[in-house]
Structures are given as structure tokens and as C-alpha cells.
Amino acid sequence: MKDNHFNEDWRFKVANREAIVGCILAAINILWWFGFAYGLGSKPPEEYTYVLGFPAWFFWSCIVGYVVMVVLVFIVVKFVLKEVPLDDEVEDEEEDSA
């Protein structure tokens, strides 16, 4: 009976969806970093271009990438993730009926 309760609990669907969103954010971060770090940083150091004194690959992958990820995480937390109660609903129902 309890196992069936866990399969039907709506909070698990929410948690799974939010875990997938977190994995997507992590994948975006890795792809962003990898793309700029190895895309722009694969040249010899003599050919690097610089932005604000940093090599362009470092500036775009680490500095701008950090800012982009902070904004993305803020947007996801504000508009995608939702608060769910962590109380066990079965225990609450049993206490109410007693």
C-alpha cells in the first residue's frame, strides 16, 4: 500500500522535473564553458585576443559564462521551480481523523 502511495505522489513528479531542469542547466554550463574555452583557446597564446586584459577564451568562458549561469539559475528558480510541502500527507490525514 505504501509503495503505491509513493508512485502516485505528485511531489515525485515535480522533483523529477526539477532534477531534469537542473541537469539541463549543468549541461548548458559545461557546453558554454567548453565551447568558448576550447573554441577560442585552441590557438597558440601569441594569437590570443584580449578582453579587459583577459584572454578572450577565459573572459567568455569563465567570466561571462558565470554571469549567464547566475541569470539563468535566477530565472529558473523564480519562474520554473515551485515550492512543495515536505510533510507526509498520509500522516497528516491520520492525525486529522483521530
Give whole-number Cα distances, 5 to 19, 50, 51, in Å.
21, 58, 56
Instruction: Report residue 67's pLDDT band, with 50, 70 and 90 as the boundaries.
Output: very high
At 93 the pLDDT is: 56
Residue 18's pLDDT is 94
Q: Give the integer Cα–Cα distance in Å for 22 and 93.
A: 32
User: Which of helix, strand or coil describes residue 46?
Assistant: helix
Amino acid at 62: C
Domain positions in the chain are 2-97
Instruction: Read off the pLDDT of each residue in 69-84 and give the average, rounded to a whole number.
Output: 94
pLDDT of residue 25: 97
